[in-house]
Amino acid sequence: MADTKNGSELHPATVELARGANYGSITTVLPGGNFQMQLIWVHTEASASS
């Protein structure tokens, strides 16, 4: 796991990880009590100061 530091700047290893191809999931509970999970692509946008 990449270390981060306090403040508005992220550790370079954390930035590299966030800018890579990452996937996340969103899970909801349906009215009948079953779970429904959707995989999503997670990414970041480069800031103007990068």
Looking at residue 31, its pLDDT comes to 97
- Contact, 18 vs 4, CB < 8 A? no
- pTM comes to 0.44
Would you say residue 32 has pLDDT above 80? yes
Looking at residue 9, its pLDDT comes to 76
* Beta-carbon contacts of residue 28 (< 8 Å; ≥ 6 apart): 35, 36
